[in-house]
């Protein structure tokens, strides 16, 4: 007997999601089922599956889980967080515009703003290699690895999930798939890593492409945008407020040094509602 599952299709700057709530329905989560649903020809098709659960931590409104299209659970998704906020508000699971959610490794505050925008507080960036994780005995601003006989320089940071950020001269000619796929699964990143390619236009503007762990290059990556800005700030190349241009659109990232917190402001779009038997 097949199970009927209600869902919403959403996207944040064309980074697309299947959103499922388990507040009123049950969902059998398996790697095989997620892979089947993520298929763009025979399933729903998505970069990530977002699952909204009842709160598991005191003083939070929901628990938030993220699964890549390969069926593996990950820690964080900034674009997904904005879509989550819009989903629970639109579906009337919550009436207030300030929402607190727990993820696999942190608590985030989401604020619904005007003009289809959502502000996300991603918390404190972490540059400690052990917490990325990245195999280095000391913390540096810039690391290097040899990729296909070429030395690649990058920074690493966790914004709830692991990121490696490379500064490039031209975003259009950057070898995103070639270098991204190698670094994503490099032995120096035990839990794999998201790889960002950042072109700095000036201290307040960057262009960015991201090769996401377990997905490949996506149209945009909210946590990747935050990670890129934090690496740029750490290397004294960017200011504390940066406009990030991605393939799917743009978002604003702000770092508050006094609170040591990253804020991201961007859109969240509902595409359609549906159900599927699985």
Residues annotated catalytic, as ranges:
77, 221
C-alpha separations of 229 from 205, 233, 242, 267 in Å: 9, 6, 7, 18
List strand residue ranges (DSSP E) for the chain, in order: 4-12, 15-21, 48-53, 62-68, 73-74, 98-102, 107-112, 117-123, 143-147, 150-158, 162-167, 194-202, 205-212, 216-217, 241-246, 249-256, 261-267, 269-277
**Of 43, 46, 40, residue with least CA distance to 19:** 46
- What length does the chain have? 278
Q: Please tell me what DSSP assigns to residue 46.
A: -
Please answer whether residues 84 and 229 qualify as being in contact, where contact means their C-beta atoms are separated by less than 8 angstroms.
Answer: no
Distances (CA, A) of 33 to 71, 273, 276: 8, 19, 12
Strands 62-68 and 98-102: parallel
């Amino acid at each position: 007997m097949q199970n009927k599952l209600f869902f919403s299709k959403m996207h944040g700057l064309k980074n697309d999601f299947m959103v499922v709530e388990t507040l009123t329905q049950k969902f059998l989560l398996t790697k095989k089922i997620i892979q089947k649903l993520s298929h763009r020809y025979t399933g729903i098709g998505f970069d990530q599956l977002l699952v909204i659960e009842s709160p598991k931590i005191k003083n939070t409104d929901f628990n938030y889980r993220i699964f890549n299209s390969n069926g593996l659970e990950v820690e964080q998704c900034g674009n997904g967080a904005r879509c989550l906020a819009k989903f629970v508000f639109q579906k009337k699971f919550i009436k207030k515009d300030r929402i607190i959610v727990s993820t696999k490794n942190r608590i985030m505050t989401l604020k619904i703003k005007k003009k289809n925008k959502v502000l996300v507080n991603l918390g404190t960036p972490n540059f400690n290699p052990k917490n990325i994780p990245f195999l280095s005995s000391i913390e540096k601003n810039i690391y290097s690895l040899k990729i296909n006989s070429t030395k690649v320089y990058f920074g690493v940071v966790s914004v709830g999930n692991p990121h490696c950020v490379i500064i490039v001269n031209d975003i259009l000619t950057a070898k995103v798939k070639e270098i991204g796929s190698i670094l994503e699964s490099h032995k120096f990143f035990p839990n794999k890593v998201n790889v960002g390619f950042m072109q700095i236009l000036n201290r307040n503007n960057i262009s960015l492409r991201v090769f996401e762990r377990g997905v490949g290059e996506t149209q945009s990556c909210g946590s990747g945008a935050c990670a890129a800005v934090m690496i740029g700030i750490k290397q004294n190349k960017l200011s504390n407020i940066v406009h990030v241009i991605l393939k799917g659109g743009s978002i604003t990232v702000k770092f508050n040094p006094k609170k040591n917190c990253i804020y991201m402001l961007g859109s969240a779009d509902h595409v359609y509602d549906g159900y599927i038997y699985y």
